[in-house]
Chain A
């Protein structure tokens, strides 16, 4: 559980009022391209015939869709937007910020909600058309091929992987039965690490033939045919002692 962070309430105490503005995606994308200074445009708040009007105009440089610096005439983000203001009666909204150091501070209360809407222009319509086209494109596409693909699979007498495997087997040869004691030591040290083992894994670890190994296991361990650890071998209770140091406790032949 993370520690409780004391919330810095200075913002709220000062009754800082903020606006919550909903901005279209393309506009926020353009804003991301802004320079270090961060200026993206201008807001004009005026009163027109008694009504408050808020307008936003995007900076010239940021109007180009695509990389900054290019001026592609066909793809231009509209410059003029208007903010429609709403009150926040239905909800009490506050803004809190979380810094990278996990410090939380309450920045202020939302006093107005606004939506940023572009002033409709041909440019905007074109932009929207492109967007719609892009979004309606299916993500998966069926494509017809003219010729069959022949590069991937070739018929082979014996696969590479298989060949290697056989070579390995030959080089290793059959597993030799080591001394019983040696095997037991190996087993005990293995069982120190884990309680349940598959016979295959034990063969892997001890490099002993299966029958021999099974014989030994039958002596010192039990086989779980049912239950949580199915088809695994574990040491007999008298041989295991998982709390304290296993070495001393485990008996040998």
Chain B
């Protein structure tokens, strides 16, 4: 090394050596800087060639000798190839990609593909500095670009097709939640629904909030009316979809699709409730007065809103969901000053209203009443129904009792639908607020048809109008029939707040019930699930 001292520059000189006798072949291992690979953190690494292309490349040895072989086959094949000038690319082991596994089985995996043309026009050398200060230059033999490989869960063809089919559908999360809530109520449990549960930790929070504070009943009304119309399958699907979102269960996908189909049909008449003023209602104390007021106001404002809504929806037939959401927003904003914090919350939680879980008897009645109102509103909006609607509207104060009767019918109907998974007559579905586009079948005029559609009162499911959360055998049975659940899930259903029992009591009662029911067991995901088949 000689140092040259210059006036404005200082330079150090090093010799460059190109060792001749290296048996080692140097290659470049290139990573993308975005992958943030830090080689110094590697504790252990293994590398091997990826020979999977070998079988593609033909070196396929057909049976040699004896069975299956022909005399002179090889020669003939060769002659044939020569005749046609077929040049097969050899399988070169040297050019195969590398597979690099870092830090053992749990670590990262990389695949290194050879980059072609590196040594064609210019040579790359690796200059390393030796301890004696001289540089040694090694020629680069090959260049491999390494990319990380993940073990993503990939969709199968069927699942992929499903997802593709769903991509154009704008999923109306709002009405999904509504329906689910309605269904929950129907099932006589203000218990959190399965779906509620699953979909939500989000929902849970919403539910919690709902327990203390109900923003307004309209969503429940919406729910109920929409629920009537919605098929149980749809609801189930929706709920399950929610569940899926939260828990990642895949089985709901199909259901979701179906339900979203129905969803599309049953756009909630959110606009109907625009401008409705609703006070915050707490769990226990919602009064029918409130309902009445609400009903009246909603009634009053309904028609103009309806028209608006109708025009809106017609414009954006594709974006009914959006509409709903918007309408809902407007509604909420108008109704309560506190909408804004609530709304985004709601939206995020995909909760049309947070209060689904908590509803009392009276609430239910009131809600169903409003729901029924809403249903009636839809007819005029559609211009197709008319008759029952107006009459009903007029008799608002008197209707609660009737309504409750029909409500129970409705509830049972919906419940039974849920149970059997049958598609209900379109009547009720159209009535639902979610049905924006549907020309509802004439049958869907009043809740009575939904009663009609109740011909199958589910055997074990007499859902009384009581919306108390009862830790009864009935309820447990219902849940278990519907879907396998763990004890934990069941407990969640029967929340202490609702049942009025302490947690210990709940546990005890639940255990007794389970003993009585003697459900079948199934192990899912290493957890013991109970289920009943009827």
Chain A residues with CB under 8 Å of chain B are: 1-7, 9, 12-13, 15-16, 18-25, 27-28, 31-32, 34, 36-49, 53, 56, 89-100, 104, 106-110, 114, 190, 192-198, 201, 229, 232, 242-243, 246
Contacts and interface: CB of A to CB of B under 8 A. Distances in A.
Given A20-B124, A28-B125, A46 B11 contact: yes
Main secondary structure of the interface of B (DSSP, over half): strand
Name the interface size band of chain B.
35 or more
B459 interface: no
B25 A98 contact: yes
A201 B100 CA distance: 51
Which residue, A34, A53, A114, has most C-beta atoms of chain B within 10 A? A34
8 contacts: A5-B46, A20-B127, A38-B20, A40-B18, A45-B14, A46-B12, A92-B33, A106-B39
A39 B31 contact: no
Contacts of A94: 28-31, 39
Contacts of B17: 37-40
Interface in B246-263: none
Nearest to A13: B40
Contacts of A43: 13-16, 135
B296 to A, nearest CB: 68
A93 B47 contact: no
Contact of A46 (B9, B137, B140): B9
Given A45-B12, A93-B28, 6 more contacts: A21-B137, A22-B122, A38-B19, A39-B16, A43-B16, A91-B32
Nearest to B70: A196
Nearest to A243: B67
Most A C-beta atoms less than 10 A away, residue of B30, B69, B140:
B30
Given A56-B16, A95-B26, A194-B71, A23 B10 contact: no
Interface in B46-102: 46-49, 51, 65-72, 100-101
B524 interface: no
Contacts of B39: 9, 12, 92, 94, 106, 109
A242 B35 CA distance: 56
Contact of A95 (B9, B18, B29): B29
B357 to A, nearest CB: 52
A93 B65 CA distance: 50
A41 B128 contact: no
A196 B72 CA distance: 9
A43 B122 CA distance: 20
A41 B6 CA distance: 21
B121 interface: yes
A114 B72 CA distance: 57
Contact of B66 (A6, A36, A41, A194): A194
B317 to A, nearest CB: 48
B45 A7 contact: yes
A6 B46 contact: yes
A48 B68 contact: no
Contacts of B48: 1-5
B360 to A, nearest CB: 63
B402 interface: no
A124 to B, nearest CB: 16
Contacts of B71: 190, 193-194, 196-198, 201
